[in-house]
Amino acid sequence: MYNVQFTIRLILLLFTFYILHFTFYIFPAYAQADAIGQARIHPASPLYFLKSIRENLELKFAGTTNIKALRQIEFSTRRIREVKSLVSVSRADLILPTLERYSWHLQEIANLLSPLDSGFAGKAAGEIVLQMSTLQTVYDQISNPNARMSIRLAISRLSEWEGKFIDKISQMHPLVANELNISKLSACTFLSKEASSSALNEVERMVYSERAQKCQTVKQ
């Protein structure tokens, strides 16, 4: 009887690890279209709760602040993959909450990431640049007004994040700062274009015009 129970538990444990593994595995068919790929398990998937469980465990067992920062960088990229997947499965209604979680990851990265470490600064910059490019690409692929609004807001927030991080690392890591600045300027162009869009009302155009001007401001 004991052996049977042990076998059942072992099978369940192996099955759980199998599911958790494929929660994060990006299949070639998903990744070949671009560098960031898509999430096989996304917020519209019935197994999405397993993804949240695994991320909580990854943070819990992260041994150092740097590892926690790396985890948050990885999680932020996962949220962008999920946004792409939600577009593919026509679940634009879930893009807003997904991007709210994304914004939370950005704040955590800012709190944890040490600008003194060139390796971590470079890793963060590379992922953030990719995320910015992907958000702008996805924006052109959807028509849902609420989803488009949430992506505009995410791009605006990300450009602000880039600006603050550039200020922190510009002296120590000028090449990384320059990479981020190019990405930030692309966001400025995006916001400026949206500020003149006839699809927005007058208040929205004014708001994005102000954000575009603020985005383009370079501190001396």
CB atoms within 10 A of CB 54: 17
What's the pLDDT score for residue 115? 64
Comparing 180 with 200, which gets the higher pLDDT? 180
What's the pLDDT score for residue 203? 85
Pick from 98-107, 164-173, 181-190: least confident: 164-173
- Environment class of 7 (CB within 10 Å of its CB; exposed 0-12, middle 13-18, buried 19+): exposed
Tens of pLDDT, residue by residue over 15-71, are 554 455 554 544 443 443 467 889 999 999 999 999 999 999 999 998 888 889 889
Pick from 20-34, 87-101, 192-206: least confident: 20-34
Percentage of the chain exceeding pLDDT 70: 80
What's the pLDDT score for residue 28? 40
What's the pLDDT score for residue 4? 54
Q: Is pLDDT at 218 greater than 50 in this prediction?
A: yes
Residues in the chain: 220
- The mean predicted confidence, pLDDT, of the chain is 83
Q: Is pLDDT at 128 greater than 90 in this prediction?
A: yes
The CA distance from 36 to 78, in Å, is 9
Pick from 49-53, 104-108, 114-118: least confident: 114-118
Residue 116's pLDDT band, with cuts at 50, 70 and 90, is low
What's the pLDDT score for residue 152? 94
pTM attached to this predicted model: 0.82
Residue 198: phi, psi to the nearest 5? -75, -10
Pick from 116-130, 150-164, 180-194: least confident: 116-130
Tens of pLDDT, residue by residue over 146-158, are 999 999 999 999 9
Report, as an integer, the average pLDDT of 203-217.
80
The CA distance from 140 to 38, in Å, is 17
CB atoms within 10 A of CB 88: 13
